[in-house]
Amino acid sequence: MLAVEKLQENFPHDIIEIKECAGQVSVTVRRDRIVDILRFLHDDGELLFDHLADLTAVDWLGKKEPRFEVVYNLFSIRYKQFIRIKVQVPENDPRVDSVTCIWKTANWLERECYDMFGIEFEGHPDLRRILMPDDWEGYPLRKDYPLFLEEEQEWKEYKKLRQKARELAQYDWYPMLAEKDKEEAGSPESEAAA
């Protein structure tokens, strides 16, 4: 593939691994050169990978070292070529340079990556949580984050909301439901026994 050959020619010391899976080439590169390499792929006249199809991360907890991988899926609209670039990110220093200077669309994709994995993108103009609330604790898509949280770990606002719902239950239009809710709230032991 032309893109891989060009990368090998221009960045001989920065390529760690080249792999092919299901007809798609993925190139693992060094973390500190990612912006240069992506800018080269974006700007080079014979490659023109101008469409950043996807930017995401993979958590390899217990499978691989270093733990995280940030994945860039690129597509060239003109030459109809696909390439995947990866960088490895260690757990104790989860930082990558931001590519918002090349693609504006990377802004939100990086924000989501930060929200879900806790990987920080240096040079990002506005790095904050996007899907989860601002005061959420933990990074949900990490492998050590449970699918169901224990009750004491639950989001604070959600606890408040449930409390409020209980207080407002006495004004409920459907007294049947309110009474049922009161029973549930009042006697957790009997429910557990059942």
Which positions lie near other proteins, rule CB under 8 A?
Answer: 21-24, 26, 50-54, 56, 58-59, 63, 71, 73, 75, 77, 80, 82, 84, 103-105, 107-109, 112, 116, 130-134, 140-141, 145, 147
Question: How far apart are the C-alpha atoms of 49 and 40, rounded to whole Å?
Answer: 9
**Contact partners, residue 65, CB within 8 Å, separation at least 6:** none
CA angle 61, 64, 68 (to 5 degrees): 60
Q: Closest CB to other proteins among 13 and 80?
A: 80
Quickly tell me which residue has 């010391």 as its tokens.
13
Q: Closest CB to other proteins among 7 and 70?
A: 70
Q: Do the beta carbons of residue 88 and residue 31 sit within 8 Å?
A: yes
Tell me how far, at minimum, the Cβ of 25 lies from other proteins, in Å: 11
Could you tell me how far CA 192 lies from the centroid of its own chain? 37
Q: Closest CB to other proteins among 134 and 189?
A: 134
Closest alpha carbon to 109 in 126, 93, 92: 126
CA angle 172, 175, 177 (to 5 degrees): 85
Q: Do the beta carbons of residue 106 and residue 99 sit within 8 Å?
A: yes
Q: Closest CB to other proteins among 11 and 140?
A: 140
Closest alpha carbon to 24 in 9, 3, 6: 3
Tell me how far, at minimum, the Cβ of 76 lies from other proteins, in Å: 9
Tell me how far, at minimum, the Cβ of 30 lies from other proteins, in Å: 20
Tell me how far, at minimum, the Cβ of 138 lies from other proteins, in Å: 12
Q: Closest CB to other proteins among 21 and 193?
A: 21
Residue type for position 147: L
Q: Closest CB to other proteins among 130 and 185?
A: 130
DSSP state of 73: E
Tell me how far, at minimum, the Cβ of 8 lies from other proteins, in Å: 21
Tell me how far, at minimum, the Cβ of 42 lies from other proteins, in Å: 10
